[in-house]
A and B are shown apart, each in its own frame.
Chain A
Amino acid sequence: MKKKNLPLKEIFLEDERFRISYYFSLEKLILSIQKVGLLNPPLVALRDKHFILVLGWKRVLACIKLSLSSIPVFVLEEEDDLKTFLAVFYENLATREFSLLEKAEILRMLKKFGEEEKSIVKHYLPLLNIPSALSNLESYLAFSQLEPEVKKAIHQKDIPFSSVKLLVGFTHQERKLLLPLLLPAGQNKLKGILEDLKEISRRNDTNPKKILSSKEILDITGSEKLSPLQKTDKVRLILRKKRYPVLSLREESFDSLLKKLRLPKTVKVKPSQFFEEENFTVNFSFENSEELKANLLKLQELSSKKEFSSIFKFK
């Protein structure tokens, strides 16, 4: 491996065959280069008379931002792409954690450069903290094929494996419809939307696009009055009712019974989770003994009312 000074314009950045990272911030690195210079030269290799970048995308892009004309580089004298890529892989493996999308890129490249699937499953998946199973390799390879805007959302929202796996199950068009609903959602809501949509469509032998294009959902997504988060919440609710009709109906009946009972605002009556257990919980808060007594009195009055006994039908 030789070290040399290379004009930045001589690095052929269009060739991204060894690039595994796409989403990063350059600010701190730019500051570091400004203060102390480029301490670790990037690694390049010669392909078709071009110097292509093997390792150090962040460093090179930072140097371009700083308008440097040339930088020190190491030139790797290796012609085999797989062996060259392994330099990228092991150097990064030793120094940092990979994101989900980086793992997907690594696995895609190992396969592209000729590593056998069996060997990838056996040797590389454990190194990436992925359980050794062909199905996992297939999942990650599918992740690497996702559209750039979806990948960007995965990176920005740090979407976990289970939700990305759900995303992969939808078509490109469906993901396009889903993306505006997913961006404002937290992790649980996001997973819930994807899971419910997939399961409703499988159960009802319909396709997700048809569900997302239904009038009730289009009315929400097309509304100018609702914020993106409100749209997400409303669509989530519609999907949940479709996915769990009996449970949703029971929850609604319970809520409407509570409304009829006119409980004090400070008192909350809750069933067990999913009405699975036979008990109910009463919660109230108080600031002094008068409030405590008033709440207890109200509860005593309520418990003797005929309507209150209807609550036990929800056991």
Chain B
Amino acid sequence: MTKSKYIPQKVFVEKRSFDFPLTKRILKNVGSVPSEVIDDSKELLEDIKASKDAIGAGKKYLLITRQRGEFVKPCPCTPGYLGCNYFILNIDLNCPLDCTYCILQHYLTNPLITVHVNLEDLWRQLDIFLQRKKHRAIRIGTGELGDSLALDHITENSMDLISYFRKKRNAIFELKTKTVNIKNILKIEPAPNVIIAWSLNSLRIARVEEKGAPSVEERIDAARRVSERGFRIAFHFDPIIRHPDWEEGYKEVIKKLLSTIDPARIAWISLGSLRFPPSLKGIIEERFPRTKIIYDEFVKGKDGKLRYFKPLRLELYKKIAGFIKDWGREKVPIYFCMESEGVWSEALGWIPKGKENLELYLSSPLGLSVT
């Protein structure tokens, strides 16, 4: 992996996915990369899984297939903590970046970079979904099971998605990325209900633990350009990770961010501290033996995931939210991803009355039209 745009070593196309327009577009965009039509991916997956680092090996190959299930799903959030009513759109699976803490290492059974090409089914499913939810504002995004823009130079999906959601005024659509792959975004007319979001971290964490991702400065610069193009933007400090001089590290990034970008153009900033299912720890140890981020004081939370002992989380959140409030002139909505009411209350001074209330807090400043 390099910090340049992702190019697979080989493209595998499932036979029944060959005739889709998106398949043709991808094959055209990857140029001279070899491709192979396969009956199904079972054997390929078995071979990849037998390799020493199946997760790393899978990133070298692009699989073109169809989504057999639902494209739209409610964000699973986590039991016992406050959710935000988010919906996820699963078009791409997996990510060419290789972040130490990535939950996909544990979550996905298919290590290949996978693109679902049956977009007609996507639009049809989205039409039905949004029609059913027309009485409320929906927040929906693609960045849960993969980076929203990491493959965009190959798929060009961002342009189709933005064009689609532009007309759906009860939906806020979010593309979430760590990349600077914004060429297509800059080409298309902005839409008020489309948010382009970046995951940020301290410079040190980004440099050491986010292998293959552009630097934080590059991400902020990409956000500036997208903001100046007229899009609303958002940021996710997630996962926030304790490390030597973390306070200075996050302060530096927030100062840089909020002095580069007009806080009024920022739809929201989310905060979430590092958390992971216990089984991810073993995977991280195998794949990133030099990392120390998993050896801090993690305890089992209400959902069974490991998270920082609460006083440590509160210290992180209070400091970082304070920096955002100071530098953002109190204009930027802040929310927590997967946190308890106690943490909300102590770190931000208020508690949303349920996930609908949180959804309203985040969507109402965007002036959506809900019937």
A residues apposed to B, CB below 8 Å: 118, 121-122, 132-135, 138, 199-200, 202-203, 243-247, 250, 273-278, 315
- The 8 A-B residue pairs with the shortest CB-CB distance, nearest first, are A274-B299, A203-B295, A134-B52, A121-B50, A199-B295, A278-B342, A247-B309, A244-B297
Contact B292 A276 (CB under 8 A): no
Return the contact of B286 from the options A135, A246, A274 (Cβ within 8 A).
Answer: A135
Return the contact of B309 from the options A118, A135, A246 (Cβ within 8 A).
Answer: A246
For A118, what are the chain B residues with a Cβ–Cβ distance below 8 Å?
A: 50
B residues apposed to A, CB below 8 Å: 46, 49-54, 286, 292, 295-297, 299-302, 309-312, 340-342
Contact A122 B50 (CB under 8 A): yes
Contact A132 B301 (CB under 8 A): no
Q: How far is the CB of A67 from chain B (nearest CB, A)?
A: 49
Contact B292 A247 (CB under 8 A): no
Q: How far is the CB of B110 from chain A (nearest CB, A)?
A: 14
Closest to B287 in A: A135
Closest to A117 in B: B50
Extra contacts, 10 of them, besides A132-B50, A199-B295, A275-B309 (Cβ < 8 A), are A132-B46, A133-B49, A134-B51, A135-B52, A138-B52, A202-B295, A244-B299, A273-B300, A275-B311, A278-B342
In the bound complex, CA of A273 to CA of B302 (Å): 9
Q: How far is the CB of B58 from chain A (nearest CB, A)?
A: 12
- 24 inter-chain pairs at a CB distance below 8 angstroms, sorted by A residue, are A121-B50, A132-B50, A133-B49, A133-B50, A133-B54, A134-B51, A134-B52, A135-B52, A202-B292, A203-B296, A243-B297, A246-B309, A273-B299, A274-B310, A275-B309, A275-B310, A275-B311, A276-B299, A276-B302, A277-B302, A277-B342, A278-B341, A278-B342, A315-B342
Closest to B54 in A: A133
In the bound complex, CA of A134 to CA of B300 (Å): 29
Q: How far is the CB of A142 from chain B (nearest CB, A)?
A: 13
In the bound complex, CA of A130 to CA of B165 (Å): 46
In the bound complex, CA of A122 to CA of B50 (Å): 7
Q: How far is the CB of A16 from chain B (nearest CB, A)?
A: 30
Q: How far is the CB of A254 from chain B (nearest CB, A)?
A: 12
Q: How far is the CB of B351 from chain A (nearest CB, A)?
A: 11
In the bound complex, CA of A253 to CA of B325 (Å): 33
In the bound complex, CA of A278 to CA of B292 (Å): 30
Q: A202-B295, A203-B292, A274-B300 are known contacts. Are A246 and B49 too (CB-CB below 8 A)?
A: no
Q: How far is the CB of A139 from chain B (nearest CB, A)?
A: 10
In the bound complex, CA of A135 to CA of B53 (Å): 8
Q: A202-B295, A247-B309 are known contacts. Are A276 and B49 too (CB-CB below 8 A)?
A: no
For A276, what are the chain B residues with a Cβ–Cβ distance below 8 Å?
A: 299-302, 310, 340
Closest to B308 in A: A246
Q: How far is the CB of A50 from chain B (nearest CB, A)?
A: 37
In the bound complex, CA of A274 to CA of B340 (Å): 14
Contact A246 B295 (CB under 8 A): no
In the bound complex, CA of A221 to CA of B252 (Å): 48
For A133, what are the chain B residues with a Cβ–Cβ distance below 8 Å?
A: 49-50, 54
Closest to A277 in B: B302
Q: A246-B297, A274-B299, A276-B302 are known contacts. Are A134 and B309 too (CB-CB below 8 A)?
A: no
For A202, what are the chain B residues with a Cβ–Cβ distance below 8 Å?
A: 292, 295
For B286, what are the chain A residues with a Cβ–Cβ distance below 8 Å?
A: 135
Return the contact of B297 from the options A247, A278, A315 (Cβ within 8 A).
Answer: A247
In the bound complex, CA of A278 to CA of B345 (Å): 11
